[in-house]
Structure 1
Amino acid sequence: MKTVIQGTGRLLFTGLCLLFVWPAFAQQAAWPAVKRETKPWTRWWWIGSAVNEKNLSSSLDVLQQAGFGGVEIAPIYGAMGYESQYVSFLSPRWTALLRHTVSATAERQMGVDLTTGTGWPFGGPQVTKAYAASRFIIRQYHVSAGKSLTQPIRVDDAKQEGAALQALTAYNGHQAISLKDKVDKEGRLRWSPASGEWDLYALFDGWTLQQVKRAAPGGEGYTLDHLSAKGLQVYLHRFDTAFKYKAPGVRSFYNDSYEVYNADWTPAFLTAFKKKRGYDLARYLRELASDDSTDLVARVKSDYRETMSELLLENFTRPWTHWAHGYKSLSKNQAHGSPGNLLDLYAAVDIPECETYGSTYFPIPGLRRDSADIRNVDPDPVMLKFASSAGHVQGRPLISCETFTWLTEHFKTSLSQCKPEVEQAFLAGVNHVFYHGNTFSPPEVPWPGWLFYASVNFVPTNSFWPHLPGLNEYITRVQSVLQSGVPDNELLVYWPVYDTWHRAKGRDMSLKVHDIDEWLQPTAFYKQVKALQGAGYSLDFISDAQLLRADVGKGNDSTKLPLSGYRLIVIPKMRLMPVTTMQQLIRLAEEGSAVVMESLPEDVPGLGGLESRRKALRTLLASLQFRPDEHQLMVARRGKGRLILAADVQKAIWQVGLDREKVVDKGLKFIRRKENNTTWYYLVNHTPQKIDEYLPLNKAEGTVVLLDPQTGRTGLAQSRQDGGRTIVKLQLLPGEAMIVHTGKGVQAGTMADWKYLETPEVPLTLSGNWQLTFTNGGPFIPVARQLDKLTPWTALGDTAANAYCGSGVYTTTFTLPEKKAGEYVLDIGEVHESAHVWVNGQDAGILWAIPFRARIGHYLKAGNNEIRIEVANLMANRIRYMDQHQVPWRRYHEINFVNINYTPFNAAGWPVQPSGLAGPVTITPYR
């Protein structure tokens, strides 16, 4: 089993380094400090809340050892056959288990978050119909002159028995009259028109009758009316009682994505609408019920949607956050899916949380993406930025993300597939990752243990678990940087939500992740954001309400939002803008801001006071006297600043003096943070080409340090001046990331130079015999064998190997006649799916993602060398075997277990997934 190096020579291919992590993770001095928030956290499903103190502590030990910084408790439905072990949600026993978990995590320097409910959305046994999610029901009738309505005014639906009549309006052409006071208790209308034909519209306060999805024992019941202030008080009182008004010690309470279906009403809606919009919605029931594509219908519905947004913010999000603060905890909220202004809802909580759902295509060579195993909606970084933008503008230090939800089909997700997906979230402003997720499972439950139906299963029974620290430590390093300082984004882009709300079709408008192809991607806002990011500008979004609080100063007034970190406000092409927003843009310009407008607003949104508001907008716009400047930009100067009207937004930005980051021209993606007198760059190469050249970084000055988040290595970069700017030498292979720390405040001390890989020689291919043995897996342990060439174990024709899930160890020896190269880079080639490498008995690290390389010169010696490569495959083949042989493993209440298309799961027909090492394994010397 020996290979001998025979000579040297040139190789055209150059490389960088390295995907491995130190066996004992310790952050080097050049990196920011590690704390629990810099580590990844995981959603932690309590199946049936069938937990106890001993098993909880043991599970936390395992999570801590794998590199997790905290857990997010989510009680859900139970497993069949374990009913006797269920613990009812918020019972004294359940609360005691929660407090034990809080104490146990603190002992392990970990944290705990807790959903304010079970399953999702909020609801439970304390939610009576009076406070359950509501929907409006409209019934239509017709009455002719001199006749009376014979049928009662009521909802003929047994499920909606008791739905209260809230308004009854009769229409004759443009004439509308209210008749609610003419309806008796039995629903009889005591009215007959003297003339004409009348259409009657009756509005009832009904219910969605939605139950809590995936509820845990003790959490079953109606979904909460999130628009009702009193409903929230009733809902939270159950928690107060269970906690006995004593803080449970959780870091934050969280709310999952808003999935309250068809909840488009609340009993107090008409009163709130009249107060907020200035007119009576009851007079416009005909328009509310219509889908006719008229401006009037769209305006009424825009006002209706804006009112819903405000009620959700004022009656749920803010008071729920206040309640969390009362327990010395934070609030963490997923606003997406809400029928409201996402930016305002995210901004109202302490930790805005977005979500990645499905998988993204990345042109990284060798990155597996099987079309049959993915969802049909790709995660969109622009959607992720609603959460990060709101947090950045509000000054929130943490932006979290529910990550990897349905990344691929169950049991087919590799760690390598996770890397670019989480990187995309980082690049969108996320700095606090939550895995979706980990299921608590008692030790006596047979393999694969308890699992959640919509998850990448980050559980100890997963064959990649021994290699998971590779991903966790990568995330920890990146988050230590992305939680340092503050965001360094130049542009604020206005989100014209009123253009979105101004739609005649439909009722409420839930802005869902799955519907972005309808409400987000077709818009001019989206296209402008993509164009600006693609050109190399960094940006955040801002809402009307946030703009109204914006201030160009340093932020001494706590009621204001300081915009001193942003250099330009961009108004994308839009049609509708409130007068107050336009007034504020002019005021900000007068105070020194530069505002670039792709177009001027054409009209105001909504219906109330329409003509007076239109007149006010026309007057404002007329006061802006745009004239061409020396660059032929149309400029209206106001006070210390200016408004620029430019169809070519990027040209205007350039003329203002704002330079773009040109690394994007090479396909690199970036995000920046600023801290004291330094700048952090996080750079990622998701292209199919390697980067090996000097590149400009706008903020590069003084000392430039490179930090490799894959390995933790650091060193002083090669940099030089070129045309008055600093350019930095970067080497990144496809799939790699790099962090650059630069600025006059960087303290490099005695740091060594970064070791670039410059001159490759002829690679050594380890083509001799290999020993293959199997460890830590099942359902059977295949026999060990000698291989005359590298071969995946699923290509051996061994039925036991084809069913095997676990680790296989490939071992060989080779001879290195002399050790004289400056570095040696190991490339293990094609691997299914991750590996841990030892060279001469020394731990050379985990190779868990593309490009599956490591620097191993430190471990080699002249003469005989041994290399041992432990490969972990996927869970898929063992699950396939179990389903083919009808071995029971999935028995859960409610949804049980489904596949990626939400149909019953069965792996019996799957092909065998390639497992093991295909290679070639090479070692390349670098002079």
Structure 2
Amino acid sequence: MKKDYIFPFFWQHGEEEETLRDYMRVIKESNVDAVCVESRPHPDFCGEKWWHDMDIILDEAKKRQMKVWILDDSHFPTGFANGAMEKKPIGLHRQSVYCYRRDAAAGDRVCFDAAEEPELPLSGFEQMMQQFGAYQKPERLYYDEVILDARAVRIKEDGAPGEVLELSLSADGKKVEFTPEEGNWRVYVTYLTRNAGGHRQYINMLDRESCRILIDEVYEKHFEHYGVDFGSTIMGFFSDEPELGNGGMYPADNILGTDQDLPWSRELEQRLSESLGEQYAEKLYLLWENGANPHETAKVRYAYMDAVTKLVRECFSEQIGSWCREHGVLYIGHLIEDNNQHARTGSSLGHYFRGLAGQDMAGIDNIGNQVLPQGEDLQVVTFLSSRDGEFYHFVLGKLGVSSGAIDPKKHGRTMCEIFGNYGWEEGVRLEKYLADHFMVRGVNRFVPHAFSPKEYPDPDCPPHFYAGGHNPQYRHFGWLMRYMNRVCTLLDGGKTSTRVAILYHAEAEWTGKCMLMQKPARVLAEMQIDYHFLPADVFCEPEKYHANLDNGLKVNGYEYRVLLIPYAQYIGKSFAQALEKLPEDQCGVIFVGGYPEGYYDSDDTLSERIATLPMVEQKDLKETLGKMGVFSLADAAICPADKDIRILHYLGAEDVFYIVNEGKDAYEGELLLSDDRKRYEYDPWRDCCYPAEMVEKEGILKMPLSLSSGETCFLMAGTAKEEMLKEKCRTLRDGEPGIELLDFTGEWTRSIAAAAKYPDFTGHTTKKEFRNVGEELPDFSGVIRYENSVKLDEVSRNVYLEIDDAWEGVEVFVNGASQGILVQKPFLYSLGTALHEGTNEIRIEVATTLERERCQDPVPGQPPKKFEDCKPTGIVGEVKLYRR
């Protein structure tokens, strides 16, 4: 099994050589064979100290047979170009277009001077920072503002727009005045500025020459130093959340029509001239005005965003990707997807698939309490936005997997940055849930966030997986990495069995009213039907996706039986024409929530064929899909139904069904499979196999399915190797016949050790029962040891130990020998081979998170956390030893 599916961030602050070498050892010993070197905190990126530190890291990587990825800038997000923009010509710097709007009645004088820029709106993030005195308005750096267009529109009594007047500009093109003699008017002044956005001295993502600066300042310099290692030790570069950068810092809900500046470039000007005509500037006010003709507004907004996102694809993503492949390395990373931002400007790139078009893997990230157990409907309002739980649970993972599946250059590879900034309270229990959440959706590469060699406690986005030896769960994290590597091995090199596609909603959101794609996605997920999101480019630029629509909807080796189109007020004409060619018997097309009103790129009326395609309301989608038959859209089903079970069928080197219970409650039922192939269960955590209890009836296989909350099941086709077969541990059920409970010899002895002092245990006490240790030791984080013994007159292989619950990582020792680590329920151990006649020593060690130790660390803008709000620690419930 190769182990370079995982390449955690290794943060650089300019540490000493000994620390860097020790951390490379630590990372390797956590079952990880690659790192992604993150330069963000380093004081001398691409300077002598940087090359010195990289020499050390690469030397250790070669010694330890590890791979290295490099984050591609000195500051977050990617695009700073290591500060090079400060000395570049002004024409290469970021530029925005903004529309100044003012209502005026008769006699009101409107005067606008671009050289005296009005206050642009602050984002929610900036407003929050302002409240704490941490926001300072950026200095004005540029003086090349120019007005593109100025006009006044009469507002009729019913509020509709009427007569339009073009307004004259001053000789320098920076000023305009207007005083209406009668009536009510709205003045629009559209102008260009470089004094907008949160990152003004960053490259312009819409300008090829500007984007090339990042390559020259970072990529080329690394090639000069380490070209001989490219493609061997050095795997490639990672772009972290590149952005268009308009609007305030991290804007939320910044769809077109809201008050924000928008990206601009000289290339964009040329594209708009081609699509909207030479007088395009007179139409730009429709990017902000919501009360004008909706169809004309849709056409202008589509033309603008289509040009913006294609320029991002060409100038930034594909230019860097091409450079990397020409130099023998890969290009990876992700943009900001959060809360539907993937289809917007500002902190993202306007279109997920185009923004990552040049990369060799699809990429997403999940940090900071985005995906949460049973968090589909959890609404959390922050200074950034209101959390859209449906997006994180039903879009995020599948968005990345969709790109990895349909883009030929990605070869089915999807990377997820994961675990970061959940706080010290995140431990392996939550991390296991998060890993399964994304892997069961098809993600097969991970960048855990992060290993920080800074002195503990580093307050930067915890948890940190080693934390200078202070993290009690470091060894448990290593077991999790081994598990994830094994699962990723199963999910690589093949493809998923996916038969339903959902149209990506970017163009729909740009141009009018729409349904977000998570709405139909949720219905599919809760029916255990796998799906991909397809951008309209699949239909309009089929060559980019190896797509063929002549005999159904076939994209890069996938064949879809159903295409769902979430409600869109407008659709593209070329997309509609492609739909008309799809044979109904090969791929059914269903509009969800309503028919479109027209095209966003044409004045033609919708064809009759579009109006005859089926349409269902969202609430009826489940019933409509159900009528297609249990196995028409998936290869597996469960009985009884349960909305929280997720199933992935992956066809790779192994034919595997991957099943996860994401619900809070245990599931008891049956798994139904559409074929009659012989199968066995595989346990990637323990790396062993179990016989599968399967019954064939009328060509359908049935198997009992029992899953605790968070538990997984892997069903493999074929016959398991004899040496890997074991009897599966099963939870003890009340009143189960044939069970003999075994008694421990006395009270449990409990002791504790901080992680940095393990295994030096102190504080020995005796306990008759188990309870939350946090109630007794509220600020303790570390390892809690429980010791007892059991006397056996005879040895049996069928002896099991079961722990009701524990927080968090559990390791059981019998007579001094470890029986392995478990990090989630059910905590079940088969002890038969480790026991002997006479007295047997039983030791249970539970590793906590660092939450309680760090509980009352100050967090800006938040009250101190209370110990009683922390998770429990230690064993909670009973420990049962029994012979079955």
What TM-score range do you get, normalising by the shorter chain?
0.7 to 0.9
Report the 3-state secondary structure (helix = DSSP H, G, I; strand = E; otherwise coil) of the residue aligned with 2:598.
Answer: coil
Report the 3-state secondary structure (helix = DSSP H, G, I; strand = E; otherwise coil) of the residue aligned with 1:332.
Answer: strand
Give the corresponding residue for 2:98.
Answer: 137
Are 2:4 and 1:37 equivalent residues in the alignment? yes
Give the corresponding residue for 1:252.
Answer: 236
Q: Does structure 1 retain, via aligned residues, the 8 Å contact 2:313–2:357? A: no
Of 820, 824, 836 in structure 1, the residue corresponding to residue 799 of structure 2 is 824
Structure-2 separation of matches of 1:813 and 1:142: 83
Structure 1 residues 826, 133: closer, same or farther in 2, change over 3 A? farther
Report the 3-state secondary structure (helix = DSSP H, G, I; strand = E; otherwise coil) of the residue aligned with 2:97.
Answer: strand
Give the corresponding residue for 1:787.
Answer: 766
Structure 1 residues 94, 211: closer, same or farther in 2, change over 3 A? farther
Structure 1 residues 719, 777: closer, same or farther in 2, change over 3 A? closer
Are 2:31 and 1:67 equivalent residues in the alignment? yes
Report the AA paired with residue 811 of structure 1: E
Report the 3-state secondary structure (helix = DSSP H, G, I; strand = E; otherwise coil) of the residue aligned with 1:243.
Answer: helix
Give the corresponding residue for 1:425.
Answer: 438
Are 2:327 and 1:352 equivalent residues in the alignment? no
Q: Which moved more, 1:144-153 or 1:238-247?
A: 144-153
Give the corresponding residue for 1:462.
Answer: 471
Give the corresponding residue for 2:22.
Answer: 58
Q: Which moved more, 1:489-498 or 1:194-203?
A: 194-203
Q: CA deviation at 1:352?
A: 1.3
How do 1:323-338 and structure 2 match up within 5 A?
Answer: 323-335=323-335, 336=337, 337=341, 338=348
Structure-2 separation of matches of 1:429 and 1:831: 29
Q: Does structure 1 retain, via aligned residues, the 8 Å contact 2:114–2:191? A: no
Give the corresponding residue for 1:104.
Answer: 60
Q: CA deviation at 1:273?
A: 1.7
How do 1:353-502 and structure 2 match up within 5 A?
Answer: 353-357=363-367, 358=369, 360=371, 362=373, 377=387, 378=389, 379-395=392-408, 396-407=411-422, 410-441=423-454, 445=455, 448-453=456-461, 455=463, 457=465, 459=467, 460-502=469-511
Q: Does structure 1 retain, via aligned residues, the 8 Å contact 2:418–2:448? A: yes
Structure 1 residues 760, 689: closer, same or farther in 2, change over 3 A? farther
Report the AA paired with residue 201 of structure 1: Y
Give the corresponding residue for 2:607.
Answer: 618
Q: Does structure 2 retain, via aligned residues, the 8 Å contact 1:431–1:479? A: yes
Structure-2 separation of matches of 1:197 and 1:229: 44
Q: CA deviation at 1:440?
A: 2.3
Q: Does structure 2 retain, via aligned residues, the 8 Å contact 1:840–1:865? A: yes
Report the AA paired with residue 419 of structure 2: F
Structure 1 residues 275, 704: closer, same or farther in 2, change over 3 A? same
Q: Does structure 2 retain, via aligned residues, the 8 Å contact 1:211–1:223? A: no
How do 1:454-853 and structure 2 match up within 5 A?
Answer: 455=463, 457=465, 459=467, 460-503=469-512, 523=515, 525-550=517-542, 561-589=555-583, 592-598=586-592, 601-606=595-600, 610-611=602-603, 614-615=604-605, 617-618=606-607, 621=610, 649-651=624-626, 653-654=628-629, 657-658=632-633, 661-663=636-638, 665-666=641-642, 667-675=644-652, 679-691=655-667, 694-698=670-674, 700-742=675-717, 746=718, 748=720, 750=722, 755-756=727-728, 761-764=739-742, 766=744, 768-777=746-755, 783-791=762-770, 794=773, 802-820=778-796, 822-853=797-828
Q: Does structure 2 retain, via aligned residues, the 8 Å contact 1:552–1:591? A: no
Report the AA paired with residue 60 of structure 2: A
Report the AA paired with residue 467 of structure 1: H
Q: CA deviation at 1:421?
A: 1.9
Of 204, 211, 228 in structure 1, the residue corresponding to residue 207 of structure 2 is 228
Report the AA paired with residue 149 of structure 2: L
Q: CA deviation at 1:211?
A: 6.0
Q: Does structure 1 retain, via aligned residues, the 8 Å contact 2:472–2:782? A: yes
* 1:383-422 C-alpha deviation (Å, 9 max, x unpaired): 2211111111124332111112333xx3222211222222
Q: Does structure 2 retain, via aligned residues, the 8 Å contact 1:663–1:669? A: no
Q: CA deviation at 1:428?
A: 2.2
Structure-2 separation of matches of 1:839 and 1:751: 23
Structure 1 stretches lacking a partner, 5+ long = 1-33, 79-85, 213-220, 505-518, 627-632, 636-644, 884-897
Q: CA deviation at 1:524?
A: 6.1
Structure-2 separation of matches of 1:779 and 1:839: 22
Report the AA paired with residue 316 of structure 1: F
Structure-2 separation of matches of 1:70 and 1:56: 14
Give the corresponding residue for 1:888.
Answer: none
Report the 3-state secondary structure (helix = DSSP H, G, I; strand = E; otherwise coil) of the residue aligned with 1:879.
Answer: coil
Structure-2 separation of matches of 1:733 and 1:194: 75
Give the corresponding residue for 2:217.
Answer: 238
Structure 1 residues 144, 163: closer, same or farther in 2, change over 3 A? farther
Structure-2 separation of matches of 1:454 and 1:166: 46
Give the corresponding residue for 1:117.
Answer: 73
Q: CA deviation at 1:768?
A: 2.0
* 1:717-750 C-alpha deviation (Å, 9 max, x unpaired): 23221122122344433332121112xxx36454
Report the AA paired with residue 755 of structure 1: E
Give the corresponding residue for 2:47.
Answer: 91
Structure-2 separation of matches of 1:362 and 1:456: 21
Structure-2 separation of matches of 1:489 and 1:735: 23
Give the corresponding residue for 2:126.
Answer: none
Structure 2 stretches lacking a partner, 5+ long = 119-138, 155-161, 248-260, 342-347, 731-736
TM-score normalised to the size of structure 1?
0.76
Q: Does structure 1 retain, via aligned residues, the 8 Å contact 2:106–2:182? A: yes
Q: CA deviation at 1:839?
A: 0.5
* 1:33-58 C-alpha deviation (Å, 9 max, x unpaired): x21333x33122213xx134443222
Give the corresponding residue for 1:321.
Answer: 321
Report the 3-state secondary structure (helix = DSSP H, G, I; strand = E; otherwise coil) of the residue aligned with 2:607.
Answer: helix
Q: Does structure 1 retain, via aligned residues, the 8 Å contact 2:802–2:881? A: yes
Structure-1 separation of matches of 2:103 and 2:813: 83
Identity of aligned residues (%): 16
Q: Does structure 2 retain, via aligned residues, the 8 Å contact 1:132–1:222? A: yes
Give the corresponding residue for 1:184.
Answer: 171
Structure 1 residues 551, 653: closer, same or farther in 2, change over 3 A? farther
Structure-1 separation of matches of 2:465 and 2:441: 24
Structure 1 residues 684, 139: closer, same or farther in 2, change over 3 A? closer
Q: CA deviation at 1:578?
A: 1.0
Structure-2 separation of matches of 1:646 and 1:810: 52
Structure 1 residues 375, 140: closer, same or farther in 2, change over 3 A? closer
Q: Does structure 2 retain, via aligned residues, the 8 Å contact 1:779–1:878? A: no
Q: CA deviation at 1:574?
A: 3.5
Structure-1 separation of matches of 2:29 and 2:756: 23
Structure-2 separation of matches of 1:595 and 1:286: 35
Q: Which moved more, 1:115-124 or 1:278-287?
A: 278-287
Structure-1 separation of matches of 2:299 and 2:696: 57
Structure-1 separation of matches of 2:561 and 2:324: 35
Report the AA paired with residue 436 of structure 1: H
* 1:151-172 C-alpha deviation (Å, 9 max, x unpaired): 7553346726514214123345
Structure-2 separation of matches of 1:487 and 1:203: 48
Structure-2 separation of matches of 1:621 and 1:787: 75
Structure-1 separation of matches of 2:281 and 2:880: 75
* 1:847-879 C-alpha deviation (Å, 9 max, x unpaired): 222222222222122321111122222223333
Q: Does structure 1 retain, via aligned residues, the 8 Å contact 2:70–2:237? A: yes
Q: CA RMSD in A?
A: 4.2
Report the 3-state secondary structure (helix = DSSP H, G, I; strand = E; otherwise coil) of the residue aligned with 2:210.
Answer: helix
Q: CA deviation at 1:502?
A: 2.2
Q: Does structure 1 retain, via aligned residues, the 8 Å contact 2:3–2:485? A: no
Structure 1 residues 107, 205: closer, same or farther in 2, change over 3 A? farther
Report the 3-state secondary structure (helix = DSSP H, G, I; strand = E; otherwise coil) of the residue aligned with 1:695.
Answer: strand
Structure 1 residues 277, 386: closer, same or farther in 2, change over 3 A? farther
